[in-house]
Structures are given as C-alpha cells and as structure tokens.
C-alpha cells in the first residue's frame, strides 16, 4: 500500500509557528516519526509540502498513483475550490487532517470546502492526527 501525505500552506513553519496551537515539532520530525510508524504497518509513505495552491493541486493529481492521500491543506481548506475539485477529480481516497480542532477556533475555520469530497476528517489531535489518518487508510485496504 502506498500513501501520499500532502501538507499545504504554512505547514513548513511547524515548530516555529504558534507552537501553543500546532505543537513544537517541525514538519521534518513529524514526517520522520510517521515514516517509522508506516514501516511497522508495512505501508509506503511519501511526503510533500507546498505553499502554492496550484502545486498542491498537482500533488493531488499525482495521488492517482497511490492507494490513499492524507491532506492537511492548511488555510486553503476553508476556501480553495480548486483543491476540492482536484480531490473530486481522482478516485483515490483522501483524508482531511488538521492538527488543531478547527471547530474550537475562529468561525472562518469552521467551514471546510473539501470535507464533502474526502472519505473522512481528523482534527484536533496534534501530530497524532496524521497517525490516525494513516491507520484509517491502512485499515481500509
């Protein structure tokens, strides 16, 4: 099983950015911990990150070649119809992930334009949100 983990806008700043909300770990460390976990599950996982909406769209299209996508689109979650259309243009299951519980935060974060085209949503468990998504996809095979 092959999974693509896509992190979107501003997630390259993890560890530096609002650690009280997003935690103190860098994206590099989160990814390397997840790689170890994926190995235990016998799952191949690849990691990409971009701050550019169109690049994220291209990564989602490349998700056609994978068995599952884990996507934290960052702020694009709340308004990018382009990212939503990219997810619905492929048949690979995509899990929407957020480190923070977006529903406990500002009202503009309560809207997701991508949830309806994702197989599921995981939010609020910090870096563990990624691991929960990995397990959810691994169990689906």
Residues that bind ligand DQA (CB under 6 A): 10, 72, 74-75, 77, 98-100, 102, 109
Neighbours of 10 (CB within 10 A): 15
Q: Cβ of residue 128: shortest distance to ligand DQA, in angstroms?
A: 12
Q: Cβ of residue 98: shortest distance to ligand DQA, in angstroms?
A: 4
Q: Cβ of residue 53: shortest distance to ligand DQA, in angstroms?
A: 13
Quickly tell me which residue has 């989160």 as its tokens. Answer: 30
3-class SS of residue 102: helix
Q: How far is it, in rounded angstroms, from Cα 77 to Cα 83? A: 8
Quick check: is 110 catalytic? no
Q: How far is it, in rounded angstroms, from Cα 136 to Cα 13? A: 26
Closer residue to ligand DQA (CB): 40 or 106: 106
Catalytic residues: 22, 98
């Amino acid at each position: 099983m092959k999974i693509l983990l896509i992190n979107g806008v501003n997630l390259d700043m993890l560890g530096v950015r609002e650690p009280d909300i997003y935690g103190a770990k860098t994206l590099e460390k989160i990814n390397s911990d997840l790689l170890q976990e994926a190995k235990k599950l016998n799952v191949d996982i690849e990691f990409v990150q971009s701050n550019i909406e169109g690049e994220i769209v291209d990564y989602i299209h490349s998700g056609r070649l994978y068995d599952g996508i884990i996507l934290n689109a960052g702020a694009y979650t709340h308004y990018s119809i382009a990212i939503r259309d990219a997810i619905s243009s492929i048949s690979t299951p995509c899990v929407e992930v957020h480190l923070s519980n977006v529903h406990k935060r500002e009202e503009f974060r309560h809207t997701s334009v991508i949830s309806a085209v994702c197989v599921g949503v995981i939010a609020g468990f910090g870096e563990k949100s990624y691991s929960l998504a990995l397990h959810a996809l691994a169990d689906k095979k």
